Amino acid sequence: MPLRAGIGLKPEHFVEILTTRPDVGFFEIHAENYMVAGGALPHYLSRIREHYSLSVHGVGLSLGGEQSPSQQHLQRLATLLDRYQPTWFSEHLAWSSHAGHCLHDLLPLPYHAATLDRVCDHIGQVQDRLQRPLLLENPATYLEFATSEFSEPEFLRQIVQRTGCGLLLDVNNVYVSAINHGRDPYDYIRALQGLWIGEIHLAGFAKDLDALGAPLLIDSHGAPVAEAVWQLYEFTLQQVGAVPTLIERDQAIPPLATLCAEAHQASLRLAEYASPAPVMSRRSP
């Protein structure tokens, strides 16, 4: 069966999904929204899971934080994954908590040896507890640290090679960060050659200006995928082959048909690169 792109699962679309069964490849949820014992969210997710594959995307493990991932959070996550058996589980290269306080944001890291050791240790703890490989998402960034010793692609390569995790390659994040820092997004994609990319994200961005009047792109997830990101996505598929792809929209949620149409655009591009992407450095679950 042809590989078809997926969309993020939103509560406003639950009933329509069950009624119309849209032709999408899978749905993705944010893990923390579904870590509840009962209610409408798990009810509808269970029904939708009967008909579709799932991807679970975490935002709360704080893999780059100074403290190890919360054991309580990991237990709740393990329960969620055991219940719904998603095809993929992913998290962010970021930190979001400190000294027991959740900051409700995905904050950037300096790319040096100490951070690398910490992130690899935390990913190892997560994979050992969950008994499955994690896909690590590249961030959208608006500043860089003077103390960084690695480029972001090299930092990701080191993590994958040391932990056996895979990558969730957010092509929109690549484009946003490259424009914000004056780099070539195509060079970023080339630098990931040979790594296991388990999933791709596409999303929209917002345009702004920084304090000096230079262009600043914001990873808003509130607009259609930009043409420049579609072009970068096609280049990515040329480099790595067909990879399961998600259309993300977390703000200004449009009708379900609009999201499905955008996913269809991705599916058409996937069909052009139907040979499976190479699987590299994969950790056995």
Among 67-71, 91-95, 239-243, 276-280, the least confident range: 276-280
Domain that holds residue 267: 6-272
Whether 191 maps to a domain, the answer reads yes
Instruction: Please report where in the chains the tokens 């994969």 appear, as a residue.
Output: 282
What was the pLDDT predicted at 101? Answer: 58
State the Cα–Cα distance between residues 200 and 267, nearest whole angstrom: 12
3-state secondary structure of 151: coil
The residue among 95 and 79 whose pLDDT is bigger is 79
Percent of the chain with pLDDT over 70: 93
Helix 71-84 vs helix 113-130: crossing angle, to nearest 10? 50
pLDDT tens by residue, 98-119: 566 565 667 889 999 999 999 9
What is the gyration radius of the CA atoms in the chain, in angstroms? 18
The residue among 274 and 5 whose pLDDT is bigger is 5
pLDDT tens by residue, 187-201: 999 999 999 999 999
Please report which confidence band the pLDDT of residue 284 belongs to, taking 50, 70 and 90 as the band edges.
very low
Which token pair is 223?
A: 């607009």
Number of domains in the chain: 1
Whether 142 maps to a domain, the answer reads yes
CA atoms within 13 A on the CB side of 49: 19
pTM: 0.93
What was the pLDDT predicted at 96? Answer: 73
Q: How far is CA 245 from the centre of its chain?
A: 10
State the Cα–Cα distance between residues 39 and 201, nearest whole angstrom: 29
Whether 285 maps to a domain, the answer reads no
Whether 280 maps to a domain, the answer reads no
Whether 262 maps to a domain, the answer reads yes
Whether 284 maps to a domain, the answer reads no
Angle (CA) 40 45 46, round 5°: 105
Of 220, 224, 265, which is closest to residue 245 (Cα–Cα)? Answer: 265
Average pLDDT, the chain: 92
**Average pLDDT of the residues in 242-251:** 96
Whether pLDDT at 38 is above 80: yes
**88 close to 27: Cβ distance less than 8 angstroms:** no
3-state secondary structure of 19: helix
**Average pLDDT of the residues in 183-189:** 98
Whether pLDDT at 67 is above 60: yes
Q: How far is CA 2 from the centre of its chain?
A: 22
Which token pair is 84?
A: 């719904």
pLDDT tens by residue, 119-174: 999 999 999 999 999 999 999 999 999 999 999 999 999 999 999 999 999 999 99
**Average pLDDT of the residues in 214-237:** 96
Whether 1 maps to a domain, the answer reads no
**Average pLDDT of the residues in 30-45:** 95
What was the pLDDT predicted at 278? Answer: 44
CA atoms within 13 A on the CB side of 65: 21
Whether 119 maps to a domain, the answer reads yes
CATH of residue 251's domain is: 3.20.20.150
What amino acid occupies position 38? Answer: G
Please report which confidence band the pLDDT of residue 214 belongs to, taking 50, 70 and 90 as the band edges.
confident
- For residue 67, what is the DSSP state? S
**Average pLDDT of the residues in 11-26:** 98
State the Cα–Cα distance between residues 230 and 233, nearest whole angstrom: 5
